[in-house]
Structure 1
Amino acid sequence: MRPIPRATAIVFLLTAVPSLLQFAYPALETTLRRDPVLIADGQLWRLVTSSLVQDSGVSGTVSNLGFLLVLGWLAERTVGTGRWLLSFLGGVALGQVGGLLFGTVGAGSSIGLCGLVGGTAVATWRGRDPLPAAVGTLYALLIGASVVDTPWSYVVAAALAGLLISWRGRVPRWTYCLVVLVVGVGLTAAADLHGTALLGGLAAGALAYRSPSGSAANGSP
């Protein structure tokens, strides 16, 4: 029996509790969210706490928590706890850098998820199970479609993601990295912090698999 994905469970609980409490206490999101002006004034904790609450209402909260549970579980079972944490934190770190550079006020666990997207894409390229990367690519494409925000953009994103999921055993393994890279660069050019978070996940994945044996970042199966 494979161990329970501990990192996914812990991060999910740490995120779900304040994310749900904010609906009863709306000031919680305001207190914990990313605010570049207040961060520059010394409130550095917001760089951490802004990933534990959501600024996208009920639908966004359900989506982020759902993807965190599903993608997080698949990713950790596939690449191990060490690489999972490296990818997640890589997304959070570069996402927060993007938020500061772009002056983005807000909150959400999506930048950590973007880290997992990039990390699993690299893992698939290195021979791991393509299912987490396929699910992650769906998340990345939906974020890209939300920036364009037109009906056809969602249709194209869903269709492309559907192909990558259903054909995951037949498409070249580097395809996921290419899609994530293109979406990441595009979002970064559009001054969206999810772009830098995706690039952070790719960088973290490359770091985790930097040696031929893939021995970096212990904890993988």
Structure 2
Amino acid sequence: MIRTTSPTAAGPSARAGILRRCPTTVVVTALTAVVSIPALFVPSIVTALQQDPGLIRHGQWWRLITPMLVQGYGIGQFVFNLAGIVLAGSAVERRTGPLRWLTIYLIAGVVSIAVTSAIFPDRVDSGSSAAVAGLIGALVVTTAIRRESPPLPALLYTVFFAAYLSGLALAGPVVGAVAGSAGVAAIGLARRVTSRSALRLGAAAVVITATAAMLAVGDVHGIGLLTGMIIAAALSALVDRRPSAAEDRPRGR
């Protein structure tokens, strides 16, 4: 007799598998959704948690973190950022583990908020995208070090994120949308005629170029991308290349 697994039996098992492989991605996605969804309908929640440089200077230090939990620009920003946490986040966590994932996410978000608060002292803002940018920067570095390609959904999101937001920062939403769509289309066409490693290198080139362009205009996403790259590279150098206890042990004759 051939046994088959029913959808009802497979569902909980699949969900448990995702939680086991990517616990931090799941928890941060859920926490962000729990705070962001009510904030879409209650503007005072956004006001209470958003980035406000003046209030940060007056001691509300938690506003270096809480802006990552609300999406003040509406449902489009909410969907875009949560997709990034899920797609880029799961790809990063499966390669780095939960603690390193959380380190990258939080530091990229906090550094981006702190730097832009100093550069633009009158600008209020909110959203998870700078922290997502940190994950994308880390994904580029991690896959380069490991010489492996990320899953296609993460790769497509990475290219769209970098191309769209750099176009938006430099020339506005129309150019951003065209650039992002063109980037995704290019990956879709290229994957038919080139190798996965070439796609990874092409995506990395897009991200690095976008990072430089956004840094030039003080865009928060460029700061997040660069921070994620630096943290991922530093942690890889400090942790991944550390000799094991067995390697440190003197060899007998």
TM-score higher than 0.5 here? yes
Distance in 2 (alpha carbons) for counterparts of 1:73 and 1:142? 21
Cα distance, 1:28–1:172 mapped onto 2, change above 3 Å: closer
Which deviates the most, 97-106 or 111-120?
97-106
CA drift at 1:215: 5.7
1:151 correspondence with 2:174: yes
Cα distance, 1:215–1:56 mapped onto 2, change above 3 Å: farther
Output the TM-score relative to the length of structure 1. 0.85
Distance in 2 (alpha carbons) for counterparts of 1:4 and 1:176? 25
Distance in 2 (alpha carbons) for counterparts of 1:70 and 1:105? 27
Higher relative contact order (CA 8 A, sep 6+): 1
Contact (CA 8 Å) 2:71, 2:127: kept in 1 or not? yes
Choose the corresponding residue for 1:163, options 166, 186, 194: 186
Contact (CA 8 Å) 1:138, 1:157: kept in 2 or not? yes
Contact (CA 8 Å) 2:164, 2:179: kept in 1 or not? no
Which residue identity lines up with residue 123 of structure 1 in the other structure? T
Structure 2's unaligned 5+ residue stretches are: 1-16, 244-253
Choose the corresponding residue for 2:150, options 130, 136, 153: 130
Which residue identity lines up with residue 14 of structure 1 in the other structure? L
CA drift at 1:134: 4.7
Distance in 2 (alpha carbons) for counterparts of 1:134 and 1:124? 15
Structure 1's unaligned 5+ residue stretches are: 217-221
Which structure carries more helix by proportion? 2
Contact (CA 8 Å) 1:138, 1:158: kept in 2 or not? yes
Pairs within 5 Å for 1:204-215: 204-210=231-237, 213-214=240-241
Cα distance, 1:210–1:153 mapped onto 2, change above 3 Å: same
Larger Rg: 2
Contact (CA 8 Å) 1:187, 1:194: kept in 2 or not? yes
CA drift at 1:128: 3.4
Output the TM-score relative to the length of structure 2. 0.75
CA drift at 1:187: 1.1
Identical residues among aligned pairs (%): 27
Cα distance, 1:84–1:215 mapped onto 2, change above 3 Å: farther
